[in-house]
Amino acid sequence: MLSVSLHGIKLIAPHGLYPQEHVLGNSFEVDVDVYLTGALPWPYVDYTVIRKTVAEVFGQPGHLLETFVYEIHRALRAQTPDAVKIRVAVRKMHPPMPGDVAFAQVCYEE
């Protein structure tokens, strides 16, 4: 099985549940893995398309990490119908909460 991965896609966007997040914005990181069979002709996924898809999804209004994971996964599945599995992880870096938290993450693969 072949995997095409793009990890650590960094974005700043005004997404979150709390009003201040829509003003100040948050830092996000996204990881994407697309798994394909190794059948010939050799499978190909353009990782610039992955980056563009992630940016387009984050350009839309939203609040929940789960929504962004779902929308990215749905868009990539439509673009790569031959994928055996697609894994998407979205992290909100330093979420606004008490204590020192590196990130909150939601991951989906299917």
> Of the candidates 79, 86, 93, 88, which has an alpha carbon nearest to the alpha carbon of residue 106?
88
User: Which residue segment(s) compose the domain that 38 sits in?
Assistant: 2-109
> Of the candidates 97, 100, 109, 92, which has an alpha carbon nearest to the alpha carbon of residue 11?
92
Q: Which helix (H) or strand (E) holds 104?
A: strand 103-109
pLDDT reported for residue 40: 67
Q: Which domain CATH number covers 101? A: 3.30.1130.10
Mean pLDDT, 10 residues at a time, the chain of 110 residues: 94 78 83 88 88 96 92 97 95 91 96
Q: What is the domain count for the chain?
A: 1
> Of the candidates 88, 104, 87, which has an alpha carbon nearest to the alpha carbon of residue 96?
104
What is the model's pTM?
0.91
pLDDT reported for residue 93: 95
pLDDT reported for residue 18: 67
